[in-house]
Chain A
Amino acid sequence: MSRCTRMVDVGRRQFLRGGAIAAAGAATATMVPAEQARAAGMALVEYPANRIANIADLAPNEPFDVTYPDADAPGVLLKLGKPVEGGAGPDGDIVGFSTICPHKGFPLSYHAEGRTMNCPGHYSVFDCEAGGQQTWGHATQNLPQYMLRVDDKGDIYAEGVDELLYGRHSNVL
């Protein structure tokens, strides 16, 4: 039986319970959000502007684990090495995504060769070079992507998410 089966089983039993965060790739550094998100009493969700990395932290095509908008919401930053729509930074090639599958909440893995986020639960594939579009799969939304800003120092700030995150009725809890 393949490794994926075990991952699914692990996912079904343990995923995200007790605050465990899924790792999207080999990189291990995780930034603690500078500001813990709080739901605001207004019609629109108030997103925190969190510094989640510096450009210097990123290596081309290597996933860098982050969380946003809070520590229970795992995600990833990628420096794709070529400009893409929605890409931030001086090269327009930095993107960030949730790493929780919007279908059933399983942890996605980064497939570096294809530059896709792949779900071991039910085989869905999301294209990191196409705004997280579901190349194939069961989710009824494309992969939630971060709105990023990079300042003069190379600090990367997340300032919003463009789809509802799995497991939340409000992106900011």
Chain B
Amino acid sequence: MAYKRHIDRLPIIPADARKHNVTCHYCIVGCGYNAYTWPVNKQGGTEASQNIFGVDLSEQQFADTEAWYAPSMYNVVKQDGKDVHLVIMPDQECSVNSGLGSVRGARMGENRRSDKTGTQQQRLSDPMVWRYGTWQPTSWDDALDLVARVTARVIDKDNEDDLFVSMFDHGGSAGGYENTWGTGKLYFQSMKVKNCRIHNRPAYNSEVHSTRDMGVGELNYAYEDYGLTDAIFLIGANPLETQSNLFLNHMVPGIRNGAKVVIVDPRRTVTVNACEIEAGKENVLQLAIESGTDLALFNTLFTYIADQGWVDSDFIAKSTFQGQVAQGQDEAHPAALGSFEMARQECRMSLAEGAEICGVAEADIIKAAEWIAKPKDDGSRRKCVSAYEKGIIWGNDNYRTVGALVNIALATGNIGREGGGVCRLGGHQEGYMRPSDAHVGRPAPYIDQLLIAGQGKVHHIWANDHYKTTLNASEFKRVYNKRTNMVKEAMDARAGATRGELVDAIVGAIEAGGIFSVNVDIIHSQIGQSAHVILPAVESGEMNLTSMNGERRMRLVEKYMDGPGSAKPDCLIAAGLAQSLERVLREEGRSDYADQFKGYDWETEEDAFMDGYHANTGEIVTYDRLRAMGNNGVQEPVVGFEDGKLVGTKRLYADGQFDRHGREDKKALFCAGAWRGLQAPGKSAQRDSYAFLINNGRSNLNWQNWFLDKDNDFVSDRYPFPFIEINPEDMAELDLEQGDLVEVYNDVGATQAMVYPTSTARRKEAFMLFGAPSGTQGNVINAGVNELILPNYKQTWANIRKISDAPASVRHLSFKSKEYTSA
């Protein structure tokens, strides 16, 4: 049977419950929620005067009511050391979601750690040190001292290259401005760590270098632009699943308002289906291109639109670079940047050529161009929002492809105006505040490959799980296990030794090729199994935390519950580590170096916020001011404080001045990136050697690498394994039934998945769910990256073979079509 909670009654929120501002800590959309808490020995009643809603709850509530919450929104947690009831429910007043809850965010309540209801017992509560052959809980002082002493042995004032750091740079979750600043100050100010990477990619770089180099920051619109536009152009994105309430609350109203939809995706997604339902099939165009040919499509569209004269000549003249080349192609720029005419010349591609490469009809490319750019009958400009995500970010030739898309938006004047924008849809929320990373260089070091090659002596990991979410993961795990085991064995051999002797033993193992691994996380992750020291962090809601969403909307999540045990905010862990390093370095007589680790006397996360965000953004935003702005917050950049309110910026570049590249002339640049086939090493050969495209991505149900979801019964019941969608005819050829476990294997590794029959899947094009603990998709992604070390997940080919009949845990599952149809 499907998982059922057998909860048929919930405590009612009393009228005097405490109310906290909450922004969902999962995806980029950042839906508004409220957390209500009240003492465990109290409850509200059904009479209107007895509950927070002021509604008679003895009656059935109706669709879209604000007076109902699901069992998944409820828990019993600690607040200031006392048990309290907790309900985290969507906020009707928040303009982002208007009361909608996604299948991720509406489970925040039951994904809190609770000693009473038993949820999320996997959360780390105390520091742990590898000792006596396993991990032993210990104090912060003990754990941080060991980390500092070993780290101090491999870093020097003039050379910190033996310290490798993997650190999140996102908002929401356990990220946010507080925590990126804490880690950023430690590694980029006190130290100048060069060998570092970000949570979802193997280097410290931007996912969208080209749009920034062109002067266009990637989050430049407001969500309301979807309701004001004539066309929605979605590329490599599946917003119904991965930005659910942006789709439902902003895109759907735009579609109902008459906007046509162009979707570029080799796979028919539930987004395509929903758009067809809302707009009618005649108003939705899916360009199901050959995987990885987006650049050819964009260059063809750009060429056609320009040739038709459907461009905004005034905008091009006033707001974009005039001349030829402004930035030549070089090691740091995989394409030249410059004027409209220069780019037009370089990118030129005929309809016939584009249609041939992309595998779509010329007429469809023309139709897309008309929907995106053809002036209306009265001569007025057509408005278009372009939105893209991992389909091209983690796809072929990232720099040129993103640049080619931005070319179209610039040429048609669709940036900085109502109903326009060319934007990343996003994964996590954002919340980045760090000192300059210029010392890292560009291209940035390819950290995973350096670790595989034996470099790095100490590795600090902040909420990264390479084992589940990196590329070339099979080899990475093999080498990393070996190198960290060398240190574990050395530590085991010195059980009972003094701290000095133990540090010597660890350093000896490091010098022999081992690596000392420090893992800061909220759970004991898969890469955390290799750690020697584990430090427990708290999440959003267990601390005050600020972030911004995909339209740069900044909010404060108010702390509504205690973190587990002695777990701390990452910013305060970073501060503790800095202070420990200062102490150890001073003890060792390295006082000049020790002085660099001053400046971390933060008592709370608010202190870190003031030291970082507040001090570096005009000293306008404070917790109190942000709290008063509620769940609607303020759109960044924040430019003032008037009449008791923070004043923000609805959309960027409304004045036609482009500055993201730092050019003084504030003119946007076009990207001159011609099509050059599959660009990353090894991709063409893999395509020619294996039967199936292993396209990959997200479902709406599983957040990120499932770090909380793997301990959530509702989710793990639905997908005990990652699914792989396969066409039924391909299944028949491979003698597969629904639910069978298959191995996906190629030249770089192997992984496993559960067969999900999908009649809309194209022959020999499978789609596998990413980030699962029970089948790491990254095992079969090769090490090939673009010139700037951007991974290329989407273009992967492999063979498929059966491992076993459907295991017991999947036999009860629904394997039906995920597409809604009206009865």
Contact = CB atoms under 8 A, between A and B. Distances in A.
Interface string B1-43: 1111111111010000000000000000000000000000000
A138 interface: yes
Interface string B96-130: 00001111001100000000000000000000000
Interface in A1-55: 1-5, 11-12, 15-17, 25, 44-45, 47
A125 to B, nearest CB: 6
A133 B814 contact: yes
Nearest to B11: A169
Contact of B256 (A1, A110, A173): A1
B439 interface: no
A1 B2 contact: no
Contacts of A161: 8
B7 A164 contact: yes
B68 A105 contact: yes
B9 A131 contact: no
B8 A164 contact: yes
Contacts, number: 186
Interface stretch (B52-60, B324-332, B345-353, B576-584): B52-60
A5 B256 contact: yes
B61 A109 contact: no
Contacts of B280: 1-2
Given A164-B9, A173-B59, A2 B278 contact: yes
A116 B823 CA distance: 9
B817 interface: yes
B63 interface: yes
Interface stretch (B153-161, B269-277, B503-511): B269-277
A116 B270 contact: no
A16 B62 CA distance: 6
Interface residues of A, number: 69
Contact of A16 (B10, B60, B103): B60
Interface string A144-173: 110000000000000011111011111111
B63 A16 contact: yes
A57 interface: no
B9 A171 contact: yes
A130 B813 contact: yes
A102 interface: yes
A14 to B, nearest CB: 9
Nearest to A139: B103
Contacts of B823: 25, 109-112, 118
A167 B103 contact: no
B100 A104 contact: yes
Contacts of A138: 100-103, 106, 244, 700
Given A1-B256, A169-B68, A118 B817 contact: no
B59 A72 contact: yes
B718 A168 contact: no
Contacts of A107: 63
B813 A166 contact: no
A130 B812 contact: yes
B62 A105 contact: yes
A105 B60 CA distance: 11
Contact of B3 (A17, A111, A142): A142
B72 interface: yes
B71 A104 contact: no
A127 B813 CA distance: 9
A68 B6 CA distance: 16
A89 interface: no
Interface string B810-821: 001110111111
B685 to A, nearest CB: 36
Most chain A CB within a 10 A radius of its CB, from B57, B61, B62, B821: B62
B60 A118 contact: no
Given A5-B278, A123-B273, A140-B107, A17 B8 contact: no
B274 A170 contact: no
Contacts of B680: none
A64 interface: no
Given A123-B274, A141-B714, A163-B4, A168 B816 contact: no
Contacts of B817: 114, 125, 135
A103 B104 CA distance: 12
B240 A163 contact: no
B60 A140 contact: no
Given A118-B822, A136-B818, A168-B68, A123 B277 contact: yes
B451 interface: no
B70 interface: yes
Query: In this complex, which of A11, A25, A86, A104 has the most chain B Cβ atoms within 10 angstroms of its Cβ?
Result: A104
A123 B238 CA distance: 14
B498 interface: no
A15 B62 CA distance: 7
Given A2-B277, A2-B280, A123 B62 contact: no
B380 interface: no
Contacts of B62: 15-17, 105, 167
A123 B256 contact: no
A66 interface: no
B73 to A, nearest CB: 8
A73 B61 CA distance: 10
B65 A167 contact: yes
A44 to B, nearest CB: 8
B733 interface: no
B68 A167 contact: yes
B308 to A, nearest CB: 30
B821 A118 contact: yes
Nearest to B814: A127
Given A45-B8, A141-B70, A169-B10, A15 B101 contact: no
B643 interface: no
Contacts of A129: 814
Nearest to B73: A140
B127 to A, nearest CB: 33
Given A1-B280, A118-B823, A163-B6, A102 B70 contact: yes
A17 B59 CA distance: 11
Given A12-B64, A162-B4, A4 B822 contact: yes
Interface in B696-719: 700, 714, 717-718
A162 B61 contact: no
Contacts of A102: 70
Nearest to A108: B823
A84 to B, nearest CB: 9
B812 A85 contact: yes
Contacts of B717: 133
A97 to B, nearest CB: 11
A96 interface: no
Interface in A61-97: 72-73, 85-86
A124 B12 contact: no
B248 interface: yes
A41 B738 CA distance: 47
B8 A15 contact: no
B270 A123 contact: yes
Contact of A168 (B6, B60, B107): B60
Contact of A171 (B8, B57, B818): B8
A86 B1 contact: yes
Contact of A125 (B61, B65, B816): B816
B79 interface: no
A140 B71 CA distance: 8
Contacts of B4: 131, 141-142, 144-145, 162-163
27 contacts: A5-B256, A105-B65, A115-B816, A119-B820, A122-B100, A122-B248, A123-B270, A123-B277, A123-B820, A125-B817, A125-B818, A125-B820, A132-B2, A133-B2, A136-B270, A138-B106, A138-B244, A141-B714, A162-B4, A163-B4, A163-B6, A164-B70, A167-B61, A167-B65, A167-B68, A169-B9, A169-B46
Pairs A-B, 9 closest by C-beta atoms: A133-B2, A127-B814, A136-B818, A131-B2, A123-B820, A167-B61, A105-B63, A140-B72, A109-B823
Given A15-B62, A47-B8, 10 more contacts: A1-B280, A15-B63, A111-B823, A118-B822, A133-B3, A137-B103, A138-B700, A141-B70, A163-B71, A168-B61
